Amino acid sequence: MRILVLFLCFHATQLLANDGSFYSNGNQLIPIVESTISVKKEVLSIQRIENGYVRVTVSYIFDNPGVAKEILVGFEAPSPAGDVNGTPINRQHPYISNFSVVMNGLPIRYETAFVNEKDYYQDDTIVSLTMDEAKGEYGFDNYSDFYYVYHFNAPFKKGLNTIQHTYNFKMATSVMEYYSFGYILTAANRWANNGIDDFTLIIDLGDFQNFFLSKTFFKDKSDWSFNGKMLEIDEDLPPYLAQYKGSMEVFCKHGPLVFTKKDFHPNGELNINAVVNMQAIDLKAFDPSQHNLPFDLQSSSFISESISESAHKILRNLPYARRGYVFKTAFIRDFYESQKWYQPNPNYISNVDDLTENEKKWLKELIRP
């Protein structure tokens, strides 16, 4: 028996002007026609890697209560947009790589198609555009309105089945964001159990990262475990940050953020935005009476000067404050206790060997007043 399972849920993506680049986002494997197979367990791992990419690894356990059957499974990805070269590479998405599927321990061969209609499965065939049709009148630069569909035949045996799905995709960037990306979670509700019986989400974006996390599929910070601090943004924000009001601001020291949920029925998508700290970029000389210091490594790299010797002492202790060092000097302690990201850790003993190579380099390049 051959049954259609395609991610036909076309969704809106944020289109960026020429000051930014949208490459792709992450998606689930989702059924449309099939209604008996359920997701017993899913572990979704998202890890930031080199060159602005994230590595996605999704491990599924499915339950097929009926007879063995072969299902056509699809993964859908939007075209790149903004200041990018969107030309397909070997008919595949130019910013998705290392795409693989392993089912019940065996690799699965896949194909790709270009589509621009929701109903692209007709007469037992995926109706794919030609390269010229996909290219359109304006070529592949800036914006193309077609979707890529990666599809493969998945043989489900009766009972439990495993699928491991992996790929890399490039994160969006702009003059206002170091990086951002989204992952479609709500499509999981299309399986027979309208969700996932046992869901784990693991996000690892690297050491000392500061980003906004849309408060959509979870209630509050108690749903997460990680090494750091999470704050709900409910106060007025500068105009360039206004869109993040109501989100959670995350200050992650290192290691992953982990979200777990039984009987998970997501009602929103995963969206992460690491916003450029404009104050850090514009700051000429650090003045503790007027300026805050950033938690994240990207933003602090812009700061190298201070207005005074005492300001310099505060600044050079930033790497240790990130790790929660409890300062004995009153003016240093008072300053860091006023920083929203600071978490005092009485057990931490300052050690230069704990610092990242970028932090060590930054300390050497600080300019004394």
> Is pLDDT at 17 greater than 70 in this prediction?
no
Handedness of CA 299, 240, 341, 329 (dihedral sign): positive
Residues 6+ apart with CB under 8 A from 5: 29, 30, 31, 32, 33, 34, 71, 72, 73, 74, 154
Token couple for 227: 């090494």
Cβ atoms within 10 Å of 312's Cβ, excluding its own? 18
Whole-model pTM: value is: 0.90
Mean pLDDT lowest among 22-26, 137-141, 203-207: 22-26
Tens digit of each residue's pLDDT (9 = 90 or more) over 56-98: 999 999 999 999 998 888 888 888 888 888 899 999 999 999 9
Paired tokens of 247: 């989100």
Confidence of residue 28 (pLDDT cuts 50, 70, 90): low
pLDDT surpasses 80 at 11: no
pLDDT band at 22 (very low <50, low <70, confident <90, very high): low
User: Lowest-confidence range among 7-11, 262-266, 337-341?
Assistant: 7-11
Instruction: Tell me the chain's radius of gyration from C-alpha atoms.
Output: 23
> Does residue 40 contact residue 62 with C-beta atoms inside 8 Å?
yes
**DSSP string of 102-145, one letter each residue:** EETTEE---EEEEE-SS--EETTEE----HHHHHTTT-SEEE--
* Residue 7, pLDDT score: 39
The DSSP code for 66 is: S
Give yes or no for residue 2 having a pLDDT over 50. Answer: no
**pLDDT greater at residue 334 or residue 22:** 334
Domains of the chain: 2-275 (2.60.40.3680), 278-365 (1.20.58.1690)
314: β partners: none
Percent of the chain's residues with pLDDT above 70 = 90
The Cα 24–Cα 77 span in angstroms is 7
- Using DSSP bridges, classify how beta strands 38-48 and 196-204 pair: parallel, antiparallel or unpaired: parallel
Minimum mean pLDDT among 39-53, 109-123, 212-226: which range?
Answer: 109-123
Per the document, the length of the chain is 369
- Say how many C-beta atoms besides its own lie within 10 A of residue 134's C-beta: 23
- Amino acid found at 151: H
More reliable by pLDDT, 37 or 140: 37
- In 3-state terms, what secondary structure has residue 7? coil
Measured over the CA atoms of residue 310, residue 313, residue 316 and residue 318, the dihedral's sign is negative
**What is the percentage of the chain residues whose pLDDT exceeds 90?**
66
Confidence of residue 24 (pLDDT cuts 50, 70, 90): low
Cα–Cα distance measured from residue 197 to residue 189, given in angstroms and rounded to the nearest whole number: 11
Q: Is there a contact between 84 and 168 (Cβ–Cβ < 8 Å)? A: no
Output the CA angle 336-338-344, nearest 5 degrees. 50
pLDDT (0 to 100) of residue 39: 94
Q: What is the pLDDT of residue 38?
A: 93
